[in-house]
Amino acid sequence: MSAESPEPKEQAVAASDDTTAASTEPASSGGDRWREAYFRIISGGWAVSLGAVILAVLAGSLMIMVTDQGVQAALPYFFARPGDTFAAIGSAVGGAYAALFRGAVWDFRADDFAGAIRPFTQSLTMATPLIAAGLGVALGFRAGLFNIGGKGQMLVAAAAGGWVGFGVSMPFPLHMIVAIVAGVAAGAVWAGIAGVLKAFTGAHEVITTIMLNYVAFYLVSYMLATPGLLQAPGSSNPKTPPMQDTAVMPDLLGPRYNLHWGFVFALIAVAFVWWLLNRSKVGFEYRAVGENPDAARVAGINVPRTTVSVMLVAGGLVGLAGVTQVLGTVTTGFSYDIDAGIGFDAITVALLGGSQPIGVLFAAILFGAFKAGGSVMQAAENVPIEIVTVVQALIVLFIAAPPLVRAVFRLPQPGARWTRSSRKEVAA
Amino acid sequence: MKLELRGITKRFGTLVANDQISLTVEPGEIHCLLGENGAGKSTLMNVLYGLYTADEGEVLLDGEVQHFRGPGDAMAAGIGMVHQHFMLIPVFTVAENVMLGHETTLPGGRLDLDAARTKVNEIARRFGFQVDPDALIEDLPVGVQQRVEIIKALSRDAKILVFDEPTAVLTPQETDEFMQIMRQLRDEGAAIVFITHKLREVREVADRITVIRRGQVVGEATADQPDTELAAMMVGRAVELTVQKSAPKYGANSLVVQDLEVTDPSGIVVVDGVSFTVRGGEVLVVAGVQGNGQTELTEALVGLQKASGGSVVLDGQEMVGRPVAEVLGAGVGFVPEDRSTDGLVGEFTVAENLMLDRRGGPPFVKAGMLQLGPRDSFARDAVEEFDIRTQGIGEQVSRLSGGNQQKVVLARELSRELRLLVAAQPTRGVDVGSIEFIHKRIVETRDAGVPVVVVSTELDEAVALGDRILVMYRGRVVGIVPSTTPRDELGLMMAGITPQKGSDVA
Give the pLDDT confidence of A159-210 residue by residue, as tens digits: 999 999 999 999 999 999 999 999 999 999 999 999 999 999 999 999 999 9
pLDDT for residue A369 is more than 50: yes
Q: Do A300 and B328 touch (CB under 8 A)?
A: yes
What's the DSSP call for residue A411?
P
**Chain A residues within 8 A of B325 when measuring between CB atoms:** 300-302
pLDDT for residue B133 is more than 70: yes
The alpha carbon of residue A158 is apart from the nearest alpha carbon of chain B, in Å, by 31
**Chain A residues within 8 A of B324 when measuring between CB atoms:** 297-300
Q: How confident is the model at residue B416 (pLDDT cuts 50, 70, 90)?
A: confident
pLDDT number for residue B505: 42
Is residue B245 assigned to a domain?
A: no
Whether A329 and A263 have beta carbons less than 8 Å apart is answered as no
DSSP result, B257-292: EEEEEEE-TTS-EEEEEEEEEEETT-EEEEE-STTS
pLDDT for residue A28 is more than 70: no
Is residue B247 assigned to a domain?
A: no
Q: Are residues B196 and B323 in the same domain?
A: no
Closest of A350, A386, A393 to residue A145, by C-alpha: A350
Is residue A316 assigned to a domain?
A: yes
Judged by a CB distance cut-off of 8 A, whether residue B11 touches chain A is yes
pLDDT number for residue A109: 87
pLDDT for residue A14 is more than 70: no
Q: Are residues B229 and B261 in the same domain?
A: no
Q: Do A298 and B343 touch (CB under 8 A)?
A: yes
Query: Which of B323, B342, B356 is facing A302, going by the closest CB pair?
Result: B323
Question: What would the mean pLDDT of B20-38 be, rounded to a whole number?
Answer: 89
Is residue A382 assigned to a domain?
A: no
**Chain B residues within 8 A of A300 when measuring between CB atoms:** 323-329, 357, 359
Q: Are residues B292 and B223 in the same domain?
A: no
pLDDT for residue A43 is more than 60: no
Judged by a CB distance cut-off of 8 A, whether residue B356 touches chain A is yes
pLDDT for residue A288 is more than 60: yes
Judged by a CB distance cut-off of 8 A, whether residue A422 touches chain B is yes
Burial class (CB in 10 A: 0-12, 13-18, 19+), A245: exposed
Distance of CA A140 to the CA centre of its chain: 14
Is residue A240 assigned to a domain?
A: yes
Q: Do B359 and A285 touch (CB under 8 A)?
A: yes
Judged by a CB distance cut-off of 8 A, whether residue A419 touches chain B is yes
Q: Do B336 and A416 touch (CB under 8 A)?
A: no
Give dist(CA B170, CA A20) in Å, integer: 51
Question: At residue A390, what are phi and psi to the nearest 5 degrees?
Answer: -65, -40
**What are the pLDDT digits (tens) for B208-266?**
999 998 888 998 888 888 888 888 888 787 777 778 888 888 888 889 999 999 998 88
Judged by a CB distance cut-off of 8 A, whether residue A291 touches chain B is yes
Q: Are residues B84 and B141 in the same domain?
A: yes
Mean pLDDT (chain B, rounded): 88
pLDDT number for residue A180: 97
Q: How confident is the model at residue B441 (pLDDT cuts 50, 70, 90)?
A: very high
pLDDT number for residue A420: 32
Query: Which of A279, A295, A422 is facing B356, going by the closest CB pair?
Result: A295
Q: What's the first-to-final CA gap in chain B, in angstroms?
A: 45
Higher-pLDDT residue of B440, A23: B440
Q: How confident is the model at residue B350 (pLDDT cuts 50, 70, 90)?
A: very high
**What are the pLDDT digits (tens) for A291-318?**
999 999 999 999 999 999 999 999 999 9
The alpha carbon of residue A312 is apart from the nearest alpha carbon of chain B, in Å, by 18
pLDDT number for residue A4: 38
The alpha carbon of residue B248 is apart from the nearest alpha carbon of chain A, in Å, by 30
**Chain B residues within 8 A of A280 when measuring between CB atoms:** 368-370
pLDDT number for residue B167: 80
Give dist(CA B76, CA B99) in Å, integer: 14
Q: Are residues B213 and B269 in the same domain?
A: no
Give dist(CA A135, CA A321) in Å, integer: 10
Q: Do A300 and B346 touch (CB under 8 A)?
A: no
Q: What is the dihedral of CA B158, B160, B161, B164, to 10 degrees?
A: -140
pLDDT for residue A25 is more than 60: no
Q: Do A299 and B357 touch (CB under 8 A)?
A: yes
Is residue A344 assigned to a domain?
A: yes
Question: What would the mean pLDDT of A94-122 be, rounded to a whole number?
Answer: 91
Is residue B380 assigned to a domain?
A: yes
Is residue A226 assigned to a domain?
A: yes
pLDDT number for residue A171: 94
Most B CBs within 10 A among A40, A142, A281, hence the mutation to make, goes to A281
pLDDT number for residue A181: 98
Q: Which residue of A has its CA nearest to B9?
A: A426
Q: Are residues B259 and B334 in the same domain?
A: yes
Judged by a CB distance cut-off of 8 A, whether residue A297 touches chain B is yes
Q: What's the domain range around B362?
A: 254-504
Is residue B443 assigned to a domain?
A: yes
Q: Are residues B325 and B227 in the same domain?
A: no
Is residue A23 assigned to a domain?
A: no
Judged by a CB distance cut-off of 8 A, whether residue A35 touches chain B is no
Helix (H) or strand (E) holding B179: helix B172-187
Q: Are residues B267 and B221 in the same domain?
A: no
Q: Which residue of A has its CA nearest to B322?
A: A300
Q: What's the first-to-final CA gap in chain A, in angstroms?
A: 27
CATH of the domain at B330: 3.40.50.300
What's the DSSP call for residue A227?
B
Is residue B229 assigned to a domain?
A: yes
pLDDT for residue A32 is more than 70: no
Out of B171, B204, B235, pick the residue that ends a domain.
B235
pLDDT for residue A117 is more than 80: yes
Q: Are residues B339 and B418 in the same domain?
A: yes
Higher-pLDDT residue of A329, B39: A329
Q: What is the pTM of this model?
A: 0.79
pLDDT number for residue A36: 58
Judged by a CB distance cut-off of 8 A, whether residue A301 touches chain B is yes
Query: Which of A280, A291, A422 is facing B345, going by the closest CB pair?
Result: A291
Is residue A19 assigned to a domain?
A: no
pLDDT for residue B421 is more than 90: yes
**What are the pLDDT digits (tens) for A355-368?**
999 999 999 999 99
Give dist(CA B263, CA B306) in Å, integer: 8
Q: What's the domain range around A132?
A: 128-367
* Domain count for chain A: 1
Question: At residue B273, what are phi and psi to the nearest 5 degrees?
Answer: 60, 50
* Domain count for chain B: 2
pLDDT number for residue B171: 72
The alpha carbon of residue B400 is apart from the nearest alpha carbon of chain A, in Å, by 14
Q: Which stretch of A8-22, A217-231, A409-423, B461-475 has the lowest confidence by average pLDDT?
A: A8-22
Q: Are residues B165 and B220 in the same domain?
A: yes
Percent helix / strand / coil, chain A, rounded to 5: 75, 0, 25
Q: Are residues B285 and B345 in the same domain?
A: yes
Q: Which stretch of A27-41, A264-278, B426-440 has the lowest confidence by average pLDDT?
A: A27-41
The alpha carbon of residue A415 is apart from the nearest alpha carbon of chain B, in Å, by 8
Is residue B240 assigned to a domain?
A: no
Q: Are residues B340 and B420 in the same domain?
A: yes
Is residue B244 assigned to a domain?
A: no
pLDDT for residue A34 is more than 70: no
Burial class (CB in 10 A: 0-12, 13-18, 19+), A267: middle
The alpha carbon of residue A291 is apart from the nearest alpha carbon of chain B, in Å, by 6
| A38-47, A120-129, B244-253 — most confident range | A120-129
Question: What would the mean pLDDT of B190-202 be, rounded to a whole number?
Answer: 87
Give dist(CA B408, CA B418) in Å, integer: 17
Mean pLDDT (chain A, rounded): 85
**What are the pLDDT digits (tens) for B301-315?**
999 999 999 999 999
